[in-house]
Amino acid sequence: MGDKIYHNKDYFAQLQTQTNSVMLTPVKSVKDQPEIIKHRNKAADDLFSVAVSKVRQPIESIFNWIIEKTDIQRASKVRSTNGLFVHTFGKIATAFIYLIF
């Protein structure tokens, strides 16, 4: 599941052939599309976008909770890949400790 900003048909087709994965994003409006086509597809596009958003919402909520509890995005002192792993997994472990206690 992705956001509208990640909508790229060529990349999604390549992803599906290489990894057998399907990427779903809310429907993004097309510039200069005739109004009649917009109105014809609006109901289906809105339903699809709502369905994708309902799946994404819990995922975004847990990421937001991790960021809020651990400040995981602040990694300015990390200088190596191993340091990044230690930072990331340490912060995630901290988040789970918050859950337990």
- Residues 24-34 have pLDDT tens digits of 888 877 778 78
Residue pLDDT, tens place only, 45-94: 889 889 988 988 998 898 898 888 888 888 888 899 999 999 999 999 98
Mean pLDDT across the chain: 85
pLDDT band at 6 (very low <50, low <70, confident <90, very high): low
Q: How far apart are CA 34 and CA 29, in angstroms?
A: 11
Domain range list for the chain: 29-100
Q: How far apart are CA 41 and CA 53, in angstroms?
A: 18
DSSP structural state of residue 80: S
Q: How far apart are CA 85 and CA 82, in angstroms?
A: 5
Whole-prediction pTM value? 0.59
